[in-house]
Amino acid sequence: MTNTRTGRLAGRTALVTGAGSGIGRESAHRFAAEGANVVVADRDEVGSEETVGSILAAGGSAFAVRVDVTVGREVEEAVAEAERRFGALHVLFNNAGIFPGADSSPVDTPEDVWDTVIDVNLKGVFLGCKYGIPALLRAGGGSIINTASFVAVVGAATSQIAYTASKGGVLAMTREIAVEYARRGIRANALCPGPVNTPLLEELLADPAARERRMVHVPMGRLAEASEVARAALFLASEDAAYVNGATFMVDGGITAAYVTPE
């Protein structure tokens, strides 16, 4: 990874939540390699420091801020710190999310698990927008990327009801933001990955039967790598996507296009 101050995000500042692991980390790397100053926001300080360390080692610009995306004042402070350090915020990537094993069918999912998933996956994105949008407006506009999922648009009998509901909420919220702020220079898009090879899916995919049950529906027959999703995030963050707004941006290997998958 080489940093270039003439890259596609040169002179831009990007705040990435969940950047201590997986898709967020790979996106932070990619944004920095394209010249962005990156605010690595995560509740996992060790993971964040690893992300920042590799960005700095490659000649990029980044710092870590400990944020629990469910706590408004922490999100507000992270945005303020981004502006203090780098002058302005241009890209807001609301990506932190959880997928607990106890999230199951509507009948079996405990209420506290429902509440926690909605809090992180949905309220966390709301809070990112609540405190991030004023900063993007101060910068004269920018790009919001909210991580939803392919399950925001197709249902699965392998149930994860709170997660699915949270991602549907992210998708709907993103569309409304896209419409409301379009004339003030903000684009907002929902990034909808298929299954990705990250720690989030470890618990699920450790079971070979569950893995096979999922994989049979993926036309490409493999998981995405986080770096592949990060490249889509970079596109949405950059001016390459200047007229892409309010999109349900699928990065799912063709899952939502499939009726019957190849043998």
* Contacting positions for ligand NAD (CB under 6 A): 17-18, 20-24, 42-44, 47, 67-70, 95-99, 120, 124, 147, 149, 193, 195-196, 198-201, 226
Closest separation in Å from C-beta 174 to ligand NAD: 13
Instruction: Give the closest residue to 241 by CA, choosing from 27, 123, 91, 18.
Output: 91
Sheet holding 186-193, edge to edge: 61-66, 37-42, 13-17, 91-94, 142-147, 186-193, 248-251
Closest separation in Å from C-beta 117 to ligand NAD: 9
Q: Cβ of 157: how many Cβ atoms within 10 Å?
A: 6
Inter-residue contact 62 to 40 (CB < 8 Å): yes
186 to 17, 30, 63, 71, 243: CA distances (angstroms): 19, 21, 24, 24, 11
Nearer to ligand NAD, 124 or 142 (CB): 124
Closest separation in Å from C-beta 171 to ligand NAD: 11
Token pair for residue 183? 């004339």
Please list the active-site residues.
163
Inter-residue contact 18 to 97 (CB < 8 Å): yes
**Residue found by looking up tokens 């702020």 in the block:** 181
Closest separation in Å from C-beta 30 to ligand NAD: 13
Nearer to ligand NAD, 136 or 226 (CB): 226
Nearer to ligand NAD, 23 or 89 (CB): 23
Nearer to ligand NAD, 143 or 149 (CB): 149
The one-letter amino acid code at 27 reads: S
> Rounded to whole angstroms, how far apart are CA atoms 187 and 91?
10
